[in-house]
């Protein structure tokens, strides 16, 4: 298979081209290097229609068959992981090792879902009536994914939706369609025609999909702003909805941490993938007694971290993924400078038109600074002093977002007690970013609603059906 060109959509089991194309830019150069189909109305109709036609057969298969298909799909991805990772670096910008780990993560998700099944609940109180609650699939799922983790976040939708017995039409971000289209090509024969459909297109494709009456459910990952539009669109015909949206995660560093041990982890918990992670640390609250020492250690790490083209060996952090995001984060940093905030900056990236922004630490900005209040989604990290634990928990919780957070301490139980008080769906102790396929992940407040991962994530693609079974002789 050629991983350099020939990017086509997967519709009804066939690879489909389109005359209209969208350009795909390598963010390390700022130049277009490939193009993807721009799905028109007729092709979208075909994809939704194929899903609807395939639904009865697919949901009717024994779950063991669907599990086996997911297992095979995982194996196929694993076989082509290196090729996918090289393409991933070119379209997304992340250096190769991190790119490969994302493909492997997607493989592990397919394999993990291949071991799951929905529960059946039986209520039988011996009063002559039994109630069986089964979980049934919904129909055709509209899945929309973002550009920061284009492969894994797409597979987070494909695996549970298909295991549940639904069919799916998935759309990757227009900034990063290529790996996902290649995955469609790889998985062309892994499922019956129409079960897995992958389409690509420009900015208008998402709204056309969410408005389409043929979908039973929308699973969306992206910004809070777009999530609200998706919800409005879903309201017209009450489509089921899962929204995984933005975050402004706080990490609270208690005074007893061993700075030498934790600094590296804290640094990459904020800056991995050039900080374009919904669950990255985006506000760092550090106890006053260790603030200076940790700041100096993080500043040294910023200085020693190589920023560059992810396809060059030795690169640790790559560019921002797209010009829009580059301009947003550049403006946020300019705003912080204009406000007189103290910035600690790492080395600049390569000259040229790539979307490079140096690692930037903002030294103790006020709580109401834009850089603290907004989700930067780029390599700019505000770190703030605190002295009182109750007060800092209040500051951490004073956010419209509620995605995740972290607590760092040598006293694990003390850290867990703080974690319990954070208003977020996930909290890590002494690390962050790691998620498991068997554990629910859910945002609170304006980070969205619904669940991904685990059996809870599977049930998001299903509806309960309760069957009341009378005692044998009653009628
Ligand atoms: P985005 O909202 O701009 O785009 C996400 C997807 O929605 C893209 O595929 C885009 O083409 C599509 N889209 C755009 N407008 C649409 C519309 N009106 N209707 C339907 N679809 C539309 O987000 P992004 O910039 O690609 O991603 C970054 C954001 O995603 C950040 O806020 C980040 O925190 C969030 N995110 C959240 C999670 C999570 O699990 N909670 C994971 C990753 C990223």
Ligand 1 geometric centre to CA of 154 (Å): 12
Does 245 contact ligand 1 (Cβ within 6 A)?
yes
Q: In which residue are the tokens 């007189």 written?
A: 340
Ligand 1 geometric centre to CA of 310 (Å): 23
Q: Using one digit for the tens of pLDDT, what is the confidence trace for 178-206? A: 999 999 999 999 999 999 999 999 999 99
- The per-residue pLDDT for 4 is 87
Band (pLDDT 50/70/90 cuts) for residue 473 is low
Residue 278 falls in the annotated catalytic set: yes
Q: Using one digit for the tens of pLDDT, what is the confidence trace for 36-55? A: 999 999 999 999 999 999 99
The CATH superfamily of 250-429 is Aldehyde Dehydrogenase; Chain A, domain 2 (3.40.309.10)
DSSP H/E element including 134: strand 130-137
| Of 91, 185, 244, 460, catalytic | 244
Residues of the chain with CATH 3.40.309.10: 250-429
Band (pLDDT 50/70/90 cuts) for residue 1 is confident
Does 419 contact ligand 1 (Cβ within 6 A)?
no
CA dihedral 199, 202, 204, 209 (to 10 degrees): 10
Q: Return the DSSP state at 274.
A: G
Does 229 contact ligand 1 (Cβ within 6 A)?
yes
Least confident of 411-415, 444-448, 470-474: 470-474
Band (pLDDT 50/70/90 cuts) for residue 115 is very high
Band (pLDDT 50/70/90 cuts) for residue 475 is low
The angle that helices 259-271 and 288-304 make with each other, rounded to 10 degrees, is 60
Task: Give the three-state DSSP class for 434.
Answer: coil
Q: Using one digit for the tens of pLDDT, what is the confidence trace for 348-407? A: 999 999 999 999 999 999 999 999 999 999 999 999 999 999 999 999 999 999 999 999
Does 322 contact ligand 1 (Cβ within 6 A)?
no
Nearest Cα neighbor of 371 from 345, 336, 397, 344 is 336
Does 403 contact ligand 1 (Cβ within 6 A)?
yes
pLDDT tops 70 at residue 474: no
Task: Give the three-state DSSP class for 386.
Answer: strand
Does 201 contact ligand 1 (Cβ within 6 A)?
no
Residues of the chain with CATH 3.40.605.10: 9-245+447-466
DSSP H/E element including 446: none
Q: Using one digit for the tens of pLDDT, what is the confidence trace for 89-108? A: 999 999 999 999 999 999 99
Q: How far is CA 121 from CA 130, 137, 465, in A?
A: 10, 16, 10
CATH architecture of 9-245+447-466: 3-Layer(aba) Sandwich (3.40)
- Measured CA to CA, the distance from residue 412 to residue 257 in angstroms comes to 11
- Measured CA to CA, the distance from residue 171 to residue 143 in angstroms comes to 6
> Residue with the nearest Cα to atom 11 of ligand 1?
173
Nearest Cα neighbor of 425 from 454, 447, 458, 408 is 447
- Measured CA to CA, the distance from residue 280 to residue 271 in angstroms comes to 7
- Best of 22, 38, 146 for a ligand 1 pocket test (most atoms within 8 Å of beta carbon): 146
| Of 278, 375, 452, 460, catalytic | 278
Percent of the chain with pLDDT over 90: 97
pTM of the model: 0.97
Ligand 1 geometric centre to CA of 306 (Å): 28
pLDDT tops 60 at residue 338: yes
Ligand 1 geometric centre to CA of 82 (Å): 26
- The per-residue pLDDT for 471 is 75
Ligand 1 geometric centre to CA of 62 (Å): 34
- Partner residues linked to 141 by β-bridges: 168, 217
């Amino acid at each position: 298979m050629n991983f350099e060109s020939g990017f086509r959509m997967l519709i009804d089991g066939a690879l489909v081209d389109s005359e209209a194309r969208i350009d795909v830019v390598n963010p390390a150069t700022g130049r277009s290097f490939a193009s993807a189909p721009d799905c028109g109305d007729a092709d979208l109709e075909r994809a939704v229609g194929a899903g609807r036609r395939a639904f009865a057969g697919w949901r009717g298969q024994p779950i063991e068959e669907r599990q086996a298909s997911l297992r095979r799909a995982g194996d196929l991805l694993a076989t082509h992981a290196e090729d996918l990772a090289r393409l991933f670096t070119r379209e997304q910008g992340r250096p190769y090792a991190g790119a490969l780990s994302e493909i492997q993560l997607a493989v592990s998700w397919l394999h993990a879902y291949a071991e799951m099944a929905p529960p059946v609940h039986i209520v039988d109180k011996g009063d002559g009536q039994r109630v069986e609650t089964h979980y049934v699939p919904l129909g055709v799922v509209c899945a929309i994914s973002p550009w920061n983790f284009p492969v894994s976040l797409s597979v987070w939708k494909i695996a549970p939706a298909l295991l549940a017995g639904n069919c799916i039409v998935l759309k990757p971000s227009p900034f990063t369609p290529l790996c996902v289209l290649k995955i469609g090509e790889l998985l062309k024969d892994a499922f019956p025609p129409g079960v897995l459909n992958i389409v690509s297109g420009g900015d208008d494709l998402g709204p056309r999909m969410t408005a389409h009456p043929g979908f039973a459910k929308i699973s969306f990952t992206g910004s809070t702003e777009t999530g609200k539009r998706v919800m409005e669109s879903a309201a017209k015909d009450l489509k089921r909805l899962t929204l995984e949206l933005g975050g402004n995660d706080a990490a609270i560093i208690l005074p007893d941490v061993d700075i030498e041990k934790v600094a590296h982890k804290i640094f990459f918990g904020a800056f991995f993938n050039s900080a374009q992670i919904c669950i990255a640390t985006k506000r760092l609250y550090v106890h006053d007694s260790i603030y200076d020492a940790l700041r100096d250690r993080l500043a040294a790490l910023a200085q020693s971290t190589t920023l560059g083209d992810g396809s060059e060996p030795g690169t640790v952090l790559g560019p921002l993924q797209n010009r829009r995001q580059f301009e947003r984060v550049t403006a946020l940093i300019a705003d912080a400078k204009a406000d007189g905030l103290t910035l600690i900056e790492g080395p600049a990236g390569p000259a040229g038109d790539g979307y490079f922004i140096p690692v930037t630490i903002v030294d103790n900005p006020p709580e109401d600074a834009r850089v603290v209040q907004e989700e930067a989604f780029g390599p700019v990290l505000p770190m703030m002093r605190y002295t009182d634990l109750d007060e800092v928990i209040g500051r951490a919780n004073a956010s419209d977002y509620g995605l995740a957070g972290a607590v760092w301490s040598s006293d694990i139980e003390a850290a867990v007690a703080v974690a319990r008080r954070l208003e977020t769906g996930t909290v890590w102790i002494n690390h962050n970013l790691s998620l498991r396929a068997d554990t629910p992940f859910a945002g609170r407040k304006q980070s969205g609603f619904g669940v991904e991962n685990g059996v809870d994530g599977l049930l998001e693609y299903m509806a309960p059906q309760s069957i009341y079974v009378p005692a044998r002789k009653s009628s």
